[in-house]
Amino acid sequence: MEAIKETNFKFAGQSGFYKGKVRDVYYFGEKLAVVVTDRISAFDVVLPNAIPFKGQVLNQIAAKFLEATKDIVPNWVISVPDPNVTIGRKCEPFAVEMVIRGYLAGHAAREYKAGKRILCGVALPEGLKENDKLPQPIITPTTKAHEGHDEDISREAILEKGIVSKEDYEKLEVYTQALYKRGTEIAAKQGLILVDTKYEFGKSGNDIFLIDEVHTPDSSRYFYIEGYQERQEKGEAQKQLSKEFVRQWLIENGFQGKENQKVPEMTPELVKSISERYIELYEKVVGEKFTKGDNAELLSRIEENVKKSLK
């Protein structure tokens, strides 16, 4: 199965190019074409193997949720001309990611286990177990790093350092809570719990737009509702749909993105199983069958569809 590790297109009228961890961004003045590759990252490190259909899964889940939330906040999307591509409005991104958590899981659970009771300036109650529901959803922002790890930051520090103005930040908080509420409602219809997720916002002129991806397995964590309570009571691990299984595999193989740690080798079987998990997640989150894009001539297909959409 072919997978997109990188792209190097040269389009007519192209004014710039940026390679992210997973996305390749082509700029055309006030527009941009975002190619969602099959690269996979964990612990802020891009892993050596690309995962077939992962980019399509991310791009199509994001497209569906951006469409389903545009009444809450306008978003950057203009069109989706290819399973792996979104054409959108160029925005100036805010230098923070708005992480919102309804449950004590992942990074928050690791911090709590290490004895921390204040996360990003938010106090957490005593006596919580991993994956417990929090009294109410909490926003735990991170700074957006161009390289290396994103860092936890508090609301107070963001305002104090002038990273985001008070007026804009208050809007981001309102949007984040409303988007998470909508996301949890959609997930519940699919028998899922939206555990935590992150949103990115940008500005075009004076207007705020929701940018990047929304409610995908790379930006969100999902648990199955069925059996959740029982597993919590027994102290068992939750059945989840997210990228956490990749992180767990890395941890078990001695890698957490720390200095001098080597990324373990991914076998073809592991790559195939990760691809299958992403497809399962698509079908579970969206509630419809995943149709694999024709990936025999992936790069030519993408190039052709971008060219057509920009005419």
Mean pLDDT value of segment 282-301 = 91
Which position has the token pair 């996979």?
A: 40
From residue 141, how far is each of 38, 274, 279 by CA, in Å?
A: 26, 28, 29
Total count of residues recorded for the chain: 311
What are the CA-CA distances from residue 165 to residues 92, 95, 157, 295 (Å)?
14, 11, 11, 44
- Name the pLDDT band for 79 (thresholds 50, 70, 90): very high
**Residue 109, helix vs strand vs coil:** helix
Cα–Cα distance list, 43 to 25, 212, 247 (Å): 22, 19, 8
Tokens of 186: 């959609």
For the entire predicted model, the pTM comes to 0.89
Distance CA 195, CA 256 (A): 22
Whose CA is closest to 172, among 86, 231, 95, 108?
A: 95
pLDDT recorded at residue 257: 87
What CATH homologous superfamily does 93-241 map to?
ATP-grasp fold, B domain (3.30.470.20)
Domain boundary assignment for the chain: 93-241
What's the confidence (pLDDT) of residue 145? Answer: 67
